[in-house]
Amino acid sequence: MSKTTAPVAARQRADVGFHAGELAVQRRAGTAEEAARLSPMLGPAELRGGLAAFLARRTFAVVTARDAGGQLWTSPLSGPPGFLEAIAPTTLAVRARLPEDDPLHALPAGQQVGLVVVELAARRRVRVNGTLVAADGQGLVIEVEQAYGNCPQYIHQRLLAPAGPGLASQGDVRRDTVLTPGDAGLIRAADTFFLGTTNPERGSDTSHRGGRPGFVRVDGGRLWWRDYPGNNLFNSFGNLAVNPEAALFFADFDTGRTLHLSGTAEIEWDERGRPGDERHTGRRAVFTPERLLAGHLLPACQVPHSPNPRNPAFTD
């Protein structure tokens, strides 16, 4: 599949609602009726009232987009309150710069991007999807097509502060195509990661994934994780059902160590409740990395950390 960007002109979606991939996964998972009740939230969004206020107070977000070569990546963004500003009812300004070593540094405008804005301490998150109409040294400008909240499930409570000396550092970056034992250790220790997916017609999306440390398994050169019950929309899995491109972002919130992965993912369905199926969904994602970037590029660090006691236990 060719990797292309969307037209520069922002477009208001006429095809609101679920796309074919989302509908197919919802039917197979048996959640189509529940998802249909939530479909209005996917309609054209306006950044007003409580939504605009929520964005204005946040200090951390994660974006999914393509680099200049068309490769999909997912990267963190951070700034003081106000770095995310609704400058018009459908326009979001992101006043943050991606470090030179970040795979999305100098990302091109004129493409569909997905942003998840997270308040980890309060376990709140909002997804913002749309067209990147400007990208320069001052930040990003997104013409918003979708903006909606997600449930607090599986979010580990963290209070983040701006990265200090030694964090978000450059010059120690490793670009590779295979995981090292150190990379695998970071993944196995993670209780949080961010998943980027994309749809040829609807654009890119970023989602949060959380669980107890070890919920992402490393099996040889591949990764896999069980899909936990959520809002039944299946935005990420719906994208993967029609396009396997995927990007993952892992971070150690204490040290600032980061791992960006870009590759492909597939959905596997099996018998519900088999060993390793913590929440009896009968589905998992298997990711094969093609490119990776390892370093210390997290622009924030955690102060206290309270694991979410509702995250499911798991068995291998």
Report percent pLDDT > 90 for the chain. 58
Distance CA 196, CA 207 (A): 6
Distance CA 105, CA 142 (A): 16
Q: Which residues contact 100 (CB under 8 A, 6 or more apart)?
A: 170
Distance CA 183, CA 195 (A): 17
Residue 8 domain-assigned (yes or no): no
Residue 254 domain-assigned (yes or no): yes
What pLDDT score does 189 carry? 97
- CATH number, domain of 189, equals 2.30.110.10
Distance CA 278, CA 285 (A): 14
What pLDDT score does 10 carry? 38
Regarding predicted confidence, which is higher, 241 or 280?
Answer: 241
Residue 107 domain-assigned (yes or no): yes
Residue 112 domain-assigned (yes or no): yes
Residue 1 domain-assigned (yes or no): no
| Six token digits for residue 83 | 């770095």
Q: Which residues contact 27 (CB under 8 A, 6 or more apart)?
A: none
Regarding predicted confidence, which is higher, 280 or 244?
Answer: 244
Model confidence over 185-244: pLDDT tens digits? 999 999 999 999 999 888 999 999 999 999 999 998 999 999 887 777 788 898 999 999
Q: How confident is the model at residue 306 (pLDDT cuts 50, 70, 90)?
A: low
Distance CA 204, CA 55 (A): 19
Considering the chain, what is the average pLDDT of its residues?
Answer: 86
Residue 197 domain-assigned (yes or no): yes
What pLDDT score does 187 carry? 98
What pLDDT score does 115 carry? 97
Task: Tell me the average pLDDT across 274-302.
Answer: 87
What pLDDT score does 307 carry? 63
Are 10 and 143 within 8 A, CB to CB?
yes
Residue 250 domain-assigned (yes or no): yes
Model confidence over 162-182: pLDDT tens digits? 775 545 555 689 999 999 999
Q: How confident is the model at residue 13 (pLDDT cuts 50, 70, 90)?
A: very low
Cβ atoms < 10 Å from Cβ of 22 = 26
Residue 15 domain-assigned (yes or no): no
In 3D space, the residue among 261, 263, 10, 55 whose CA is nearest the CA of residue 147 turns out to be 55
* pLDDT over threshold 90, residue 6: no
Domains in the chain, number: 1
pTM: 0.88
Regarding predicted confidence, which is higher, 235 or 114?
Answer: 114
Distance CA 57, CA 207 (A): 20
Lowest mean pLDDT among 29-38, 218-227, 264-273: 29-38
* pLDDT over threshold 80, residue 12: no
Distance CA 47, CA 115 (A): 14
Domain that holds residue 268: 20-306
